[in-house]
Structure formats: structure tokens, C-alpha cells
Amino acid sequence: MRVFVTGATGFVGSAVVRELLDAGHQVVGLARSDRSAAALKDAGAEAHRGDLDDLDALRAGAAAADGVIHLAFVHDFDRYDEAALIDRRAIEALGEELAGSDRPFVVTSGTALVAPGRVATEEDPAHAPQAASRASEQAALAFAERGVRVSAVRLSPTVHGEGDHGFVPRLIEIAREKGVSGYPGDGANRWPAVHRTDAARLFRLALESAPTGARFHGVAEEGVPVREIAEAIGRGLGLPVTSVAPEDVPGHFGWISAFWSLDIPASGRLTRERLGWEPTGEKLIADLDAGHYFR
């Protein structure tokens, strides 16, 4: 299968590209710079120049592909609403190009705000009252009735592994800055986690065999207590570990406090049953204890 991948040089995207190539697929990755294009070619993929604002480039990439995986997103929390709008327009452009073709289209979403306070499942709709303004799933799944084999992969807030530059590295930076590894309150709130190689395999399986309209959870661990994450960071940095009072959490952690305080466990049981996906990568705490996050 010839697969067009956006976000192909990102932390998760580069693992997806490797997974697809190793499975015998051809990969064309969206590249917004010479550096990205070179990285794709070095990996054995083709480069297609453009970015998420270039809707013509997105349409052309989809038109020449047997399937599309959309991973790119503008990760700028200072202009999140704008980033969400860019994402929606990109999904609509890709979906319009695929309409009526029955080609697979896999989009990326997240488990974090699906059902805070209880275990989220694949059956929970994306439009739950607590859901964020990002509307990747809603925009994409609208094409299920327009002849597109569309599915959504909801990733854990912690997709971990060497090269990670997401939430956990930010928590490590804060611990270095503050001289302590902190957790909110009693630290009992939980975060799901998945290794990037397991996430990559899930995207491939969804591309190859997901039914139209399906939602999947990239969740290997249902809920790791954030206190345990803070303790692993403390071990890695040789710093004391401490509770941060709820009223002090925003000042201590900054923008990430809104996520770090959430209890957001999620299940991946139905994903395992429906796709035969079995996570085999290291668990989050073991990955932190391996030391590469602190080099």
C-alpha cells in the first residue's frame, strides 16, 4: 500500500514510518523543510513538500495514495484554538480527496479529555461534554458515510520512548528548575501510557484493517499514578520528591498543571480485541528508570 503520512518526522510519526516500511508498505511523508525531506529519504520513504496550511499539497498527497495517516498537529498551547482549526481544515481537505474511494484514513486524537475521573473506553464518544476544542475525531468520522474507511487512534497523554519531547520531558525540566520532583496533592490521579513502538504498530493495524468509524485507544497502561512518575523523575535526577498543595500547583508547574492534575485513566481492551494489538514495549516507569530521559 502507498501511504501518505502527515507528521512523518515527528516522535510518533517517525516510528509509524518505520513500522509501515518494515511491513512492506511504501511511505510518502509530508515534509515542510529540507531537513524533514532528508530525514524521510534517509529512512527509505519519499518526501512530499508542504505543511498543514497548504491544503493543495495535502490533497495532492492524498490523491496519489492508497491510504492516509494524519499525525501532524501544531503543538502550541498558546494558540491552541488556532492549531485546532488548522487541524480541522487539514482533515477536511484530506477527507474530501478520499471521499467515495473506500480508502483508509486514520486520524490522531487523544484519550486525555474523553472521560476525566473514570476509565475512558473506545465506546465513549469524542463529543463528551469534557472534550477539548480540538475536533479531529468529529471532523474525520463525518467522512464515514461518504465512502472513506476512516478511523481514529486516541493516544495516551504519555507516549514514551527515547527521543520523547512531550509532557514527561517538560516535567523533568520543571523538576530541574525547582530542585524537587513534585506531584499534585496526594499524587493518586492516573495517566495512561504507551510506548511509541506500540503506538506505531497500532496505526499500521488501523490502516490495514480498521472498519469504518472505529475508535481505538493507544493505551498499554490504563493508569499510572502521577506520584510514581514523579518518584521515577526524582530517582533519575537525584532530587527529593514532594507533594505540591493544590493551590500551589498552577504556580509550580505552569501550563502543564492543567493536565498533571487530571485523573484520566483509559482502557485499551476493545482495541486489543478488535485489532489483535498487543503492546510489547517497555512500561513507563521502566522506561524512565532506563536513564535516557535524563541524558
pLDDT reported for residue 78: 66
pLDDT reported for residue 73: 84
Alpha-carbon distance of 56 to 53, in angstroms, equals 9
pLDDT reported for residue 138: 87
Q: Are 28 and 4 in contact (CB under 8 A)?
A: yes
Angle at 25 between CA 23 and CA 29, to 5 degrees: 120
pLDDT reported for residue 82: 79
| Closest alpha carbon to 8 in 34, 35, 27 | 27
Q: Are 159 and 166 in contact (CB under 8 A)?
A: yes
- Let me know if 230 is exposed, middle or buried by CB neighbors in 10 A (0-12, 13-18, 19+): buried
pLDDT reported for residue 77: 62
Grouping H, G, I as helix, E, B as strand and the rest as coil, residue 102 is coil
Alpha-carbon distance of 233 to 181, in angstroms, equals 6
The DSSP call for residue 237 is H
pLDDT reported for residue 42: 97
pLDDT in tens, the chain (295 residues): 999 999 999 999 999 999 999 999 999 999 999 999 999 999 999 999 999 999 999 999 999 999 999 999 876 666 767 778 889 999 999 999 999 999 999 999 999 889 889 999 999 987 544 344 457 888 899 999 999 999 999 999 999 999 999 999 999 999 999 999 999 999 999 999 999 999 999 999 999 999 999 999 999 999 999 999 999 999 999 999 999 999 999 999 999 999 999 999 999 999 999 999 999 999 999 999 999 999 9
pLDDT reported for residue 84: 81
Per-residue burial over 116-145, b = 16 or more CB atoms within 10 Å of its CB, e = otherwise: eeebbbbebebeeeebeebbbbbbbbbbbe
Q: Containing H/E element for 238?
A: none
